Amino acid sequence: MPEPSVPSRPIISEFADDPDMQELVQIFASEMPGKIAGFEQALAGQRLDELRRLAHQLKGAAGGYGFGVVGDAAGRLESRLQSAADGSAAVASIEQVRRDVEEVLALCRSVRAAP
């Protein structure tokens, strides 16, 4: 299985220079280890509904805090899992889900509140 592409530099919030958002962005960035752990545990247990829920939450929150690239990847993961849950498409394999989750996690590990 190919390794997910790891961003070559930290992912900084588009709101990093906004004084009204700095504290909120810092809190969001500091919560990344917990979010990563949640994804890892759900993936290890192959709990696809939980993965979908986590992806949905991250999609909305990441965009709102200025981390659009993270939100976009979480949205793609959510869509894949939602399609499988709806029966409109099959999940290719747990390995495909694993690759999608690893992409999201690589991005989450690169999140920084400020340069």
At residue 63 the predicted structure's pLDDT band, cuts being 50, 70 and 90, is: very high
Residue 31 lies in a domain: no
Residue 106 lies in a domain: yes
Confidence of residue 3 (pLDDT cuts 50, 70, 90): very low
Q: What is the pLDDT of residues 65-115, one digit of tens each?
A: 999 999 999 999 998 898 777 665 555 567 788 899 999 999 999 999 888
Is 1 a residue whose pLDDT tops 50?
no
Domain that holds residue 73: 48-115
Q: Does 43 map to a domain?
A: no
Residue 84 falls within a domain, yes or no? Answer: yes
13 by Cβ neighbours in 10 Å (0-12 / 13-18 / 19+) ranks as: buried
Q: Determine, yes or no, domain membership for 69.
A: yes
Residue 2 has pLDDT above 50, yes or no: no
Answer yes or no: is 95 within a domain: yes
Whether residue 5 is contained in a domain is answered as no
The total of structural domains in the chain comes to 1
